[in-house]
Amino acid sequence: MNAQLPIECPVTVADTPLLLLADKALYWPDAQALLIADLHLGKAAAYRALGQPVPSGTTAHNLARLDALLARYACRWLIVLGDFLHARQSRAPATMAALAAWRASHPELRISLIRGNHDLSAGDPPAELGIEVVAEPYLVGPFALQHSPEPHPSHHVLAGHVHPVFHLRGRGRERVRLACFCLDERLCLLPAFGSFTGGMAIDALPGRQLYGVTGEGIWRLTPA
């Protein structure tokens, strides 16, 4: 089934064409910008530093996914809507080395980070990575780029923070949890890009558009 699903879905937000991507990112063609939220790099390393036996390799996996998206779409700008690093313990040598090597492979790419709650505790990325770090709201065109999904008086908000998911229910008691995009009248929530993250259940409210993603496909969950 997933092989038949599209990997992108065009939408219009604030009179601006955007693409919702199956790999939990948003592409803004007019700005040649790729937007992601809640990367949480080094989360597994932070857990291992606390003695938790969690799997390794999540940083390499997340960066490889970014590479694939940057190769597929014409991108001059990567915008991270908060929570770039997970915690101070995420600055493990292996994580920082992988991140430095990845950045060196994209020297011309502009990267902007809107500080999220985890960034405040983890600290800004190392200066040598050349990442512009700004506070929310960061106003670009018709959008208020934020980490927190708080309303803005004049701009449409693109945000993350809550890691939206939707529960599909079958005829029995089975449930399937899907990461999703959530589009309301003045707010667009992006799913968490990081592969080692939890999620908050989102309800299908009147007027709300929900798009489920699996990494291999994207489709609308609510009626058109």
Q: According to the model, what pLDDT value does residue 100 have?
A: 93
The residue among 208, 206, 209, 205 whose CA lies nearest residue 219 is: 209
Domain boundaries, the chain: 2-220
Residue with tokens 């991140």: 99
| 53 — pLDDT class (breaks 50, 70, 90) | very low
Q: Does domain 2-220 have CATH number 3.40.720?
A: no
Q: According to the model, what pLDDT value does residue 66 have?
A: 95
- CA quadruple 177, 181, 184, 189: dihedral positive or negative? positive
List, for residues 94-138, the tens digit of each pLDDT value. Answer: 888 999 999 999 999 999 999 988 777 778 888 999 999 999 999
DSSP character at residue 105 = T
Angle at 185 between CA 144 and CA 181, to 5 degrees: 75
Q: According to the model, what pLDDT value does residue 173 have?
A: 67
Q: According to the model, what pLDDT value does residue 199 have?
A: 80
Structure tokens at 72: 């597929």
Q: According to the model, what pLDDT value does residue 44 have?
A: 52
List, for residues 157-213, the tens digit of each pLDDT value. Answer: 999 999 999 987 766 666 788 999 999 999 999 999 987 567 888 888 999 999 999
Q: What is the CA radius of gyration of the chain?
A: 17
| Mean pLDDT (the chain, rounded) | 87
Between 56 and 64, where is the model more confident? 64
